[in-house]
C-alpha cells in the first residue's frame, strides 16, 4: 500500500499507471513519426515559391498566369500593327478588339468540355497543351503571313481563345488542389497564381515599349 500523508497523494501516483505511461509513449512516438513524414514531404526535391512546391502541375499553373500577365507585350505591338501597318481607323480597331473578347464571354463552356470530353485520358493537361499550340499558331501567323484586317482579326481571336481556355483549365487545377487542403495551402496557391501574373505584368510594362521600338511590331507579336 502506498503511504499517504493526510489527503496528499505522492506525485508518482497521480495518473501514472503503466497503461497511461505506455499510451503517452506511443502517442509521442506517433507524433514524432508524423513530423518526420511532414519533413520528408517538404523535402520533395522541388523548388518552392510562395510556399508551394514547384511540381510540374504547379509550374504549368504558374506559367499560364505568367503568360496572362506578360501578354501586354503583344497587346502593345498589335495596337501599333493595326494602326500603322494595316492603317485601320479607330472603329475597325474597336471591332477587332470586340471580337477578340468573345472567347472570354463563353468560359463556362470550356469547363464543361474539359470535364466531359477527356483527351487521351486527361481532362486538364491535354487541353493545356492544345491551348499552347493554338496560341503559338495564332501569334506565328501574326508575325509572318497576316497582311489583312481579316487575317489579323482571326489570329487575334484564336490567340484569345487559347488564353481563355487555358485560364479555365488552370483555375480548375487550382480548385482541385485547394480542395481538402488547409487555408494556408490554399492561400499559397493563390499567391503563386497572382504573383506569377503580377511578375508577367511587370516584365511587360518594363520591356514592351523598348522592344517594339527596337525590333518592330512583327518581332514582338
List pLDDT tens digits, range 175-217. Answer: 887 776 777 777 888 888 888 888 988 888 888 777 777 766 6
What average pLDDT does the structure give for the chain? 77
> For residues 7, 11, 15 and 18, what is the CA-based torsion angle, rounded to 10 degrees?
-130
**What pLDDT is attached to residue 218?**
63
Residue 221 lies in a domain: no
Domain count, the chain: 1
Residue 42 lies in a domain: no
**pTM for this prediction:** 0.67
Categorize the per-residue pLDDT at 102 as very low, low, confident or very high, splitting at 50, 70 and 90. very high
**What pLDDT is attached to residue 142?**
87
**What pLDDT is attached to residue 44?**
54
Q: Which domain holds residue 191?
A: 59-215
Categorize the per-residue pLDDT at 158 as very low, low, confident or very high, splitting at 50, 70 and 90. very high
Residue 23 confidence (pLDDT) above 60? no
Residue 98 lies in a domain: yes
**What pLDDT is attached to residue 27?**
57
Helices (H), 101-148: 102-105, 107-116, 125-144
Looking at the chain, the whole-number percentage of residues with pLDDT higher than 70 is 74
Name the DSSP class of 119.
B
Residue 126 or 12, more confident: 126
Are the beta carbons of 166 and 133 closer than 8 angstroms?
no
Amino acid at each position: 500500500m502506498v503511504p499517504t500523508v493526510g489527503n496528499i497523494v505522492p506525485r508518482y501516483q497521480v495518473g501514472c499507471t503503466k497503461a497511461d505511461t505506455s499510451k503517452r509513449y506511443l502517442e509521442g512516438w506517433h507524433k514524432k513519426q508524423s513530423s518526420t513524414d511532414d519533413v520528408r514531404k517538404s523535402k520533395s526535391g522541388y523548388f518552392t515559391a510562395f510556399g508551394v512546391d514547384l511540381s510540374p502541375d504547379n509550374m504549368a499553373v504558374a506559367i499560364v498566369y505568367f503568360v496572362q500577365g506578360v501578354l501586354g507585350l503583344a497587346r502593345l505591338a498589335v495596337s501599333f500593327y493595326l494602326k500603322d501597318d494595316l492603317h485601320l481607323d479607330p472603329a475597325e480597331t474597336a471591332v477587332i478588339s470586340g471580337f477578340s473578347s468573345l472567347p472570354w464571354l463563353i468560359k463556362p463552356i470550356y469547363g464543361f468540355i474539359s470535364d466531359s470530353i477527356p483527351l487521351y485520358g486527361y481532362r486538364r493537361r491535354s487541353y493545356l497543351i492544345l491551348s499552347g499550340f493554338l496560341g503559338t499558331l495564332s501569334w506565328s501567323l501574326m508575325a509572318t503571313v497576316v497582311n489583312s484586317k481579316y487575317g489579323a482579326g482571326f489570329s487575334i481571336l484564336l490567340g484569345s481563345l487559347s488564353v481563355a481556355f487555358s485560364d479555365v483549365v488552370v483555375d480548375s487545377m487550382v480548385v482541385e488542389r485547394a480542395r481538402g487542403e488547409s487555408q494556408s495551402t490554399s492561400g499559397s496557391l493563390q499567391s503563386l497564381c497572382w504573383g506569377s501574373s503580377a511578375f508577367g505584368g511587370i516584365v511587360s510594362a518594363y520591356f514592351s515599349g523598348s522592344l517594339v521600338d527596337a525590333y518592330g511590331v512583327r518581332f514582338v507579336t
